[in-house]
Structure 1
């Protein structure tokens, strides 16, 4: 049996399926868009280290509560197009396990064999929790037992032991903020009273989920308060900014980023922007400021960061058209010159 694409396999198996990107942050990938990517009609939109990091979830109509999940790390070529050879290799391994019964359930042993192929990966615990929280909402399955504990903590944090909270419960809180106004209001009201470790975990989960305006404004205000401190905590600034990453870019956020690049151009901020908030760098002036600060303060990582930027389809045309922009600093021009001379 010859099957050449993931979509072909999932369709022939008679399954329903959902696709998510787990590279830079959790993002749903529409089936129609993936079809175009498989057909090489467009590059993969969110490459990381020249790979697509996919979560593939599929199920039969009678097994929606127990879907199968693959985490696939698929190489991309120099144009950002999917390496279909890698997919064919994985599918060949899959068909070898299933034979002609594509819709047959996989045993634990078969799942383990598939996990040993070179194109699978294990997501971080934070991304895995965010993924399961989003998937649970999509499939309308009940939240984990940890969810109620997280809710109880938000109601009265001083009376609850935060160390007993489960990461999955906090992920499920973050995933529900955009659709439950009372929950988001509770979070905003109690934020100053939450343990620092809980604030950190919630920020890390929020970066993967769309946020209501009130919660995004909470994080923006927290950034302003950090900038007013005598000693700026660069890691916390980055954490708060990343928490807003799943929301569409806005003039307010871009202005905040512009300020941060001038006042606190730390390595944490530089990496946060390339990894989580690259969409904000589609603003030309912000991109030029970013490249200038990258070259001036973090020259040791210039090449690796620039390579990630220029392989991002949303940024590549803008970057290439501004390589000789008069507002690029001498340091940025020199870094670019060295980069291109070493690769030629």
Structure 2
């Protein structure tokens, strides 16, 4: 039997002794819900590349498994694995997770677990439960990728978003239906026009749900341009956050770099609003911080907050491959603001004190 040294090994041999091949897909749920190809995941496990978008020094994964011969629903694991300082899987933690899985399920994870096995799995310290919005985004992505039916809320949500139902019916729209409608119809011109026209005037729960759906999708260019134009002229912080997160897929573009640079030069004076905007930017629009001016302004603004907040944000962002080198170079810069210089000095002191 092939040795099981990595999660990829386990998934490759799963079901092999049971006349069935286990198919699987892996999704990164850390920041935006994105699929990870088997080849990319294997390269990460071999230590050839860092995990692409970690959050809080962990990889938050959604693993979907199904049997190639048994007619049954896919089996889903939500797994949170720690990463080392290089952004690679912590070897001991990964092996511990694998040992728990193999002991509980054997080598065929697509078989429905017994009550005893289910109890063992629930006691697994690496299992997590995504919050509602992330879970809805994940299920919408998986059902679309596997060509499965939508949720029962899909048709009503799509009809309402397209303007085919009374606006007052918004309270009857399910969150899962909104996610399904966005992922399957984002290229629909009628849906795009309705969102562009009404996103910031619809009831706040609808704005929130749409934002939480769109931030995981690649928006069409014309739609992104329209929302970006609204971002440039919007003053309310709550609306800026809705637009920022909705445009997450375009954070790497020069136009978004410029728009975010403007926001960073004119941050809200109220601390709660300022931090809400900064946290949203760092969590979803971090590619815009590859612009060195944006990064320095962002970290300077964070440095104006509590020391614990600065340290937490720095440690989170420095794990992102695109930002790691840029952040570390700040330590050698002589042109930083006094606030940022002091915050970096405190970070070094804290790190040495815990080493």
Tell me the TM-score normalised to structure 1 length.
0.90
Q: What is the alpha-carbon distance in structure 1 between the residues aligned to residue 112 and residue 80 of structure 2?
A: 20
Q: What is the alpha-carbon distance in structure 1 between the residues aligned to residue 119 and residue 227 of structure 2?
A: 41
Q: What is the alpha-carbon distance in structure 1 between the residues aligned to residue 165 and residue 223 of structure 2?
A: 18
1:170-189 to structure 2, matched below 5 A, reads 170-189=178-197
What's the counterpart of residue 247 of structure 1?
Answer: 250
What's the counterpart of residue 105 of structure 1?
Answer: 111
Quick one: structure 1 residues 92 and 327, their matched pair in 2 at CA, closer, same or farther if it must change by over 3 Å?
Answer: same
Give the drift of 1:89. Answer: 2.1
What's the counterpart of residue 156 of structure 2?
Answer: 149
8 Å contact from structure 1 (residues 185, 214) kept in 2: no
1:7-86 to structure 2, matched below 5 A, reads 7-13=8-14, 14-63=21-70, 66-86=73-93
Quick one: structure 1 residues 152 and 193, their matched pair in 2 at CA, closer, same or farther if it must change by over 3 Å?
Answer: farther
8 Å contact from structure 1 (residues 77, 83) kept in 2: yes
8 Å contact from structure 2 (residues 251, 285) kept in 1: no
Q: What is the alpha-carbon distance in structure 2 between the residues aligned to residue 194 and residue 108 of structure 1?
A: 46
Q: What is the alpha-carbon distance in structure 1 between the residues aligned to residue 278 and residue 204 of structure 2?
A: 23
Quick one: structure 1 residues 290 and 193, their matched pair in 2 at CA, closer, same or farther if it must change by over 3 Å?
Answer: closer
| Residues 32-41 or 315-324, more deviating | 315-324
2:269 matches 1:263: no
Q: Tell me the SS of whatever aligns to 2:81.
A: strand
Q: Tell me the SS of whatever aligns to 1:315.
A: helix
Q: What is the alpha-carbon distance in structure 2 between the residues aligned to residue 340 and residue 159 of structure 1?
A: 54
Over the aligned positions, Cα root-mean-square deviation in angstroms equals 2.2
Q: What is the alpha-carbon distance in structure 2 between the residues aligned to residue 276 and residue 268 of structure 1?
A: 12
Give the unaligned 5+ runs of structure 1: 228-232
8 Å contact from structure 1 (residues 38, 84) kept in 2: no
2:315 matches 1:307: yes
Q: Tell me the SS of whatever aligns to 2:341.
A: helix
8 Å contact from structure 2 (residues 251, 257) kept in 1: no
Q: What is the alpha-carbon distance in structure 1 between the residues aligned to residue 339 and residue 71 of structure 2?
A: 55
Q: Tell me the SS of whatever aligns to 1:25.
A: coil
8 Å contact from structure 2 (residues 26, 61) kept in 1: yes
Q: What is the alpha-carbon distance in structure 2 between the residues aligned to residue 248 and residue 289 of structure 1?
A: 16
1:206-253 CA distance string (max 9 Å, x none): 1111111233234323323422xxxxx323322320111133511111
Q: What is the alpha-carbon distance in structure 2 between the residues aligned to residue 75 and residue 125 of structure 1?
A: 22
1:68-112 CA distance string (max 9 Å, x none): 11000111122221023222222222222333x526512262344
Which of 140, 143, 148 in structure 2 is aligned with 1:136? 143
Q: What is the alpha-carbon distance in structure 2 between the residues aligned to residue 29 and residue 85 of structure 1?
A: 22
| Residues 217-226 or 129-138, more deviating | 217-226
Give the drift of 1:298. Answer: 5.8
Give the unaligned 5+ runs of structure 2: 15-20, 269-273
Quick one: structure 1 residues 55 and 192, their matched pair in 2 at CA, closer, same or farther if it must change by over 3 Å?
Answer: closer
| Residues 108-117 or 10-19, more deviating | 108-117
Q: What is the alpha-carbon distance in structure 2 between the residues aligned to residue 193 and residue 47 of structure 1?
A: 33
1:268-287 to structure 2, matched below 5 A, reads 268-287=276-295
Quick one: structure 1 residues 104 and 249, their matched pair in 2 at CA, closer, same or farther if it must change by over 3 Å?
Answer: closer
Q: Kindly tell me the number of residue pairs found equivalent between the two proteins.
A: 338
Q: What is the alpha-carbon distance in structure 1 between the residues aligned to residue 225 and residue 165 of structure 2?
A: 22
Which of 325, 328, 340 in structure 2 is aligned with 1:320? 328
